[in-house]
Chains A and B, each alone.
Chain A
Amino acid sequence: MTTAAQVLSQFQATGVETCFHDRHIDPQIYAGLNGSNWRLQDYEARGGYQALKKILGKDGGEGLNQDQVIATVKESGLRGRGGAGFPTGLKWSFMPRQFPGQKYLVCNSDEGEPGTCKDRDILMFNPHIVIEGMIIAGFAMGISVGYNYIHGEIFQVYERFEAALEEARAAGYLGSNILGSNFSFQLHAHHGFGAYICGEETALLESLEGKKGQPRFKPPFPASFGLYGKPTTINNTETFAAVPWIIRNGGAAYLACGKPNNGGTKIFSVSGDVERPGNYEIPLGTPFAKLLELAGGVRKGRQLKAVIPGGSSSPVLPASVIMECTMDYDSIAKAGSMLGSGAVIVMDDSRCMVESLKRLSYFYMHESCGQCTPCREGTGWLWRLVDRIHRGEGRPADMDLLDNVASNIMGRTICALGDAAAMPVRAMLKHYRHEFAAMIRTTSPQATTSA
C-alpha cells in the first residue's frame, strides 16, 4: 500500500533538468552538484568553509580583517543578484560597524519574481555555500545574528536549509566562538507564506517581525533602521553564495570571470518557449544567443519573438534587440530593460502579447499590498483594460489610457511594485502596439474612456 506521502514524492523535482546538466559555463555556485552531495562533508570536499577558515586565520595564514574582506568584495565587482544590481561591497560598507547595539544580517530567499527559480536550486542542492557566505558577511560587518527568509511555497527547501544549519552548528561553523575564534554568529531560517511583496526588502523585514508585509518608506534605509529598528544588511541568496569563491580566489579573479563593472558568474533561470528550461550559470557578459543555445534553443519549429530578460517586472525586448545583447547589467540596461533577477522568459512567434500582458497585469493586481492608492487602484485599472482589449471589447482610446494609467503609477508609490506593474505595460505597448490595435474593434459603439 502506497501512502499519500509516497505518492507525492514521486512528483518531486530531481534537479536533473534544471541544475545537474553539463550546460553551465565555468560554474562556481552550481559546480559539482548532483543532488545527493548537499551535506556538509560534501561541501567541504568541494573546498567549502575554506574561505571562512581563511578570514579567521584557521588555515595557517594570518587571517583577514573586516576592511580587507569588504575591500575584496568591492574589488570583485559583485553586484546584488536579487534584481537591483547594487554593488555588494558598497552596501556592506554602509553598515555602521561601530554601532553598539544588535545588528542583523538578512538573506532574501523570497524568490517569487515570475520566471526566477535559481535560489531554490542553490538552497536545495548547495545550502552550505549560502551559510558560509552569510557567516563571512556577518564577520565583515560585525553582525552576530542572521536570518534567511525563504519563499513559503518552497517548504522542502526551507526544511533542507534547516537541516544544513544543524550540520553547520554541530561542526562549529555557526554559533559562539566560531572555530575557536572570538567571532560568534547565529543563523536561523524563517519562511514566508505566499506574498510576492515580501521580496521587497522592507516588506520582508515587516514580515520577519511577524506583521503584514507592507513596505516601509525609505529613508531611513535598513542599514540604519532595519529589523526590529536595528541596522540591517539584506542581500539575495545568490549574492551570498558568490562570496566564498571571491574570498578563496580574490576579487580580481572574480571580476575577470565577467566583464568590467559586471564581475563573476550569474545564474539565469530560462523558462517559457525553449526546449530545455532550467538554470544556467554562466559568466556575466555571455551573449544571449549562447544562453539560448544552452537552453536548447526556441521550441522546435518556432521562431524567437520576444524575451523578458530579468523577471516579469522587466520590460520586454523584441528578438532583434535581445539577440544583440550580452547577458550583463549594462548591456541589458542599454537595450532598455533590466537584468533583474536573471529570469529569462522566452516567447516564440505563436504568442499573443495581449494575453501575456493580461496574465502579468492580473498578477500585479493580485499581489499589490494595497498600501499606496496609485498601485492598489492602478494595477486593477491596468488589468481591466488589458482584459477588455483581450475580450475584443476594447475601445480605440484604451491604448492611450493604458499608457496614461501606467505612467501615473510610476514613481508614485512607496516601493517598486507599482513600477514593476507599469513597466511591462509600457514596454508591450512600445514594441507590440499593433497587436493591441488589432484586437480593438474600430467600430466600437462606446466612445467613453472609463475603465
Chain B
Amino acid sequence: MISEATKARFAREVAKYPAEQKQSAVMACLAIVQQEQGYVSQESEAGIAEYLGMPEIAVHEVTTFYNMYNQQPVGKYKLNVCTNLPCLLRDGGKALEHLEHKLGIAAGETTADGMFTLQECECLGACADAPVMLVNDRSMCSFMSGEKLDQLVDNLRTAEGK
C-alpha cells in the first residue's frame, strides 16, 4: 500500500512532466519508496504502476536496470564505496577492504545486526574527493581515510544506540 503522504511526494514529481507522460516520474517514485521502506518490493512496484498508469513489468524493468535500486531489503545503512580507477589510485580499494575488516563482512553482505550493508560501486562522480562513499543513496562522504571510516561507523552505531 502507498500512503497518502507518499502519494503527495509522487504528485510533486508527476507535475514536472506533460499530463500524458506520467511515466517519466517512475524513477523518482521508486527512489521515494526506497527512501521510505529501504528497498523496492514487488508490492511497491505494483502500487507505482497503478499510480502512474503503466504496466507493472515496465516499472520492474526500471528497478532492475538502474544500479541504485535495492531489489531486496538492505541494512539500515547502505555503504557504497567507489573503486573505479580514479578512486582506486587514491585508496578507494583500501577503503573497501578497511570496511570489510571493520564490519566483519565481505562486499555485498550485511552485518548480522542489520545495521550495515557494504557494496562496491562504480563512479559516483566525485573523483577529486577520493576515496568516496555514498550512504543510503543520498549522502556523499568525501576523503574517507581509514580513520574517517572508523569514525563514521562508530558514530552511526552510537547514534543508533548500538
Given known pairs A191-B28, A345-B89, the reply for A156 and B140 (CB within 8 Å) is yes
Is the CB of B67 closer than 8 A to any CB of chain A? yes
Residues of B within 8 A of A196 (CB): 122-123
Closest-by-CB residue of B relative to A110 is B125
Contact of A188 among B16, B58, B143, B155 (CB under 8 A): B16
Is the CB of B124 closer than 8 A to any CB of chain A? yes
CB proximity of A108 to chain B, nearest CB, Å: 13
Complex Cα gap A116–B130 (Å): 12
Residues of A within 8 A of B30 (CB): 193
Contact of A153 among B58, B69, B83, B125 (CB under 8 A): B125
Contact of B21 among A7, A10, A119, A209 (CB under 8 A): A209
* B128-A12 in contact (CB<8A): no
Contact of A13 among B69, B134, B140, B148 (CB under 8 A): B140
Residues of A within 8 A of B155 (CB): 2, 7, 10
Is the CB of B160 closer than 8 A to any CB of chain A? yes
Given known pairs A3-B159, A212-B65, A363-B123, the reply for A18 and B139 (CB within 8 Å) is no
Closest-by-CB residue of B relative to A312 is B85
* Chain A, range 1-21, C-beta contacts under 8 Å to B: 1-4, 6-13, 17-18
Closest-by-CB residue of A relative to B15 is A188
* B62-A210 in contact (CB<8A): yes
Closest-by-CB residue of B relative to A273 is B89
Complex Cα gap A407–B37 (Å): 46
Residues of B within 8 A of A191 (CB): 27-28, 31
Complex Cα gap A381–B99 (Å): 30
Complex Cα gap A190–B142 (Å): 24
Is the CB of B135 closer than 8 A to any CB of chain A? yes
Closest-by-CB residue of A relative to B76 is A4
Complex Cα gap A192–B61 (Å): 14
Residues of A within 8 A of B31 (CB): 152, 191, 193
Contact with A along B14-42 (1 / 0, CB 8 A): 00111001011111101100000000000
Is the CB of B74 closer than 8 A to any CB of chain A? no
Is the CB of A279 closer than 8 A to any CB of chain B? yes
Complex Cα gap A119–B134 (Å): 18
Is the CB of B112 closer than 8 A to any CB of chain A? no
Residues of A within 8 A of B2 (CB): none
Give the number of chain B interface residues (Cβ < 8 Å). 58
Is the CB of A270 closer than 8 A to any CB of chain B? yes
* A210-B85 in contact (CB<8A): no
Is the CB of A218 closer than 8 A to any CB of chain B? no
Complex Cα gap A209–B17 (Å): 9
Is the CB of B86 closer than 8 A to any CB of chain A? yes
Complex Cα gap A214–B138 (Å): 25
Contact with B along A315-350 (1 / 0, CB 8 A): 000000000000000000000000000010111000
Residues of B within 8 A of A211 (CB): 23, 58, 61-62
Residues of A within 8 A of B138 (CB): 155-156
Contact with A along B76-92 (1 / 0, CB 8 A): 01000001111011100
Contact of B125 among A116, A195, A356, A369 (CB under 8 A): A116
Residues of B within 8 A of A271 (CB): 86, 89-90, 127-128, 130
Residues of A within 8 A of B123 (CB): 112-115, 196, 312, 363
Is the CB of A410 closer than 8 A to any CB of chain B? no
Complex Cα gap A422–B101 (Å): 35
Q: Which 8 A-B pairs have the closest CB atoms?
A: A194-B67, A210-B23, A194-B68, A11-B141, A271-B86, A13-B142, A188-B16, A271-B127
Give 17 pairs: A residue, B residue, CB < 8 Å, sorted on A.
Answer: A6-B159, A7-B156, A11-B139, A102-B18, A111-B125, A114-B86, A116-B127, A154-B140, A155-B140, A190-B28, A193-B27, A195-B67, A209-B21, A210-B26, A210-B27, A211-B23, A359-B83
Residues of A in contact with B (beta carbons under 8 Å apart): 1-4, 6-13, 17-18, 102, 111-117, 119-120, 147, 151-156, 188-196, 207-213, 228, 269-273, 277-279, 308, 312, 343, 345-347, 351, 356, 359-360, 363, 366-367, 369
Residues of B in contact with A (beta carbons under 8 Å apart): 16-18, 21, 23-28, 30-31, 52, 54, 58, 61-62, 65-69, 77, 83-86, 88-90, 121-130, 134-135, 137-144, 148, 151-152, 155-156, 158-160
